[in-house]
Amino acid sequence: MEAEQKHQHLKPKIVVSGAAETGHCGPNAFQVAMELGREVATQGAILVNGATTGFPFWTARGAKEAGGIVIGISPAASEREHIELYKLPLDYLDIIIFTGFGYSGRNFLLTRAADAVIVGCGRIGTVNEFTVAFEDKKPLGVLEGEWETGEVFKTMVEKGHRPNEQLIFDKNPKELVSKILKLIEKEKNQSYNVYTTPDKFYTECTGPDCKIIL
């Protein structure tokens, strides 16, 4: 059995960030978001989002319809608060982690929870998640489309005089996910020995006395 099948942690985790309300995103945002989610799933990654509506919701739907795994990071402290106070969905999420930290605190934990971040059509919250991921030097993708978000981020980086080799812009969801996965793989191979020699990381035993072998 392959190491990825043994341990889900070895699968790349990609955050998809985007607007919870997408009226300004153009008529095709729904289809583009679903295509992005499908690509995250079919290319072997786990999708992480803010357990919210709009662009992230549609991306989660695309991932689930492709047989993927989706983890939601909620601003709420409980399922009841998630539904009643924040008016957020439960659909298309395999696991929801309730932070109780509101949107700004949730955004910080969200970007830290994954190996890379991809942003689509967004608003202020998406800008917040973009800048946190940028400062953390995570692989960071911007999906360009009918919306203006991509141009906003290009201007921010240019005017901020902060070139970033980990930052990718692309209009094609399939190509963007593929490029981000290559950056993730490169970073893991450089930083973590367990990812370059996974066959030495696992044992076949299942009891409480099993030990990790490096």
In a domain, 199, yes or no: no
The reply to whether 205 falls in a domain is: no
What's the rounded mean pLDDT across residues 5-25?
87
The token duo for 22 is: 């997408």
In this structure, is residue 198 part of a structural domain? Answer: no
Q: What are phi and psi of 129, to 5 degrees?
A: -65, -35
Q: Closest by alpha carbon to 19, among 48, 47, 46, 59? A: 59
Q: What is the mean pLDDT of residues 148-167?
A: 92
Q: Which CATH number is 160's domain given?
A: 3.40.50.450
In a domain, 160, yes or no: yes
Containing domain of residue 55, as a range?
11-193
pLDDT over 80 (residue 201): no
pTM: 0.84
Q: Which residue, among 38, 40, 19, 43, has the nearest Cα to 29 in the 3D structure?
A: 19
- Reference 111, options 122, 125, 123, 90; nearest CA is 125
Contact status, residue 71 vs residue 46, Cβ threshold 8 Å: yes
Residue 163 has pLDDT above 90, yes or no: no
Q: For position 207, what pLDDT does the model report?
A: 54
pLDDT band for 209, please (50, 70, 90 cuts). Answer: low
Q: Is residue 202 part of a domain?
A: no
pLDDT in tens, 104-155: 999 999 999 999 999 999 999 999 999 999 999 999 999 999 999 999 999 9
Q: What is the mean pLDDT of residues 171-192?
A: 90
Q: How confident is the model at residue 159 (pLDDT cuts 50, 70, 90)?
A: very high
Span 83-106, average pLDDT: 97
Contact 37, 16 (CB under 8 A): yes
H helix or E strand, kind and range, residue 125: helix 124-135
Please indicate, yes or no, if residue 4 is contained in any of the structural domains. no
Domain count for the chain, please give it. 1
Write the DSSP string, 26-46: -TTHHHHHHHHHHHHHHTTPE
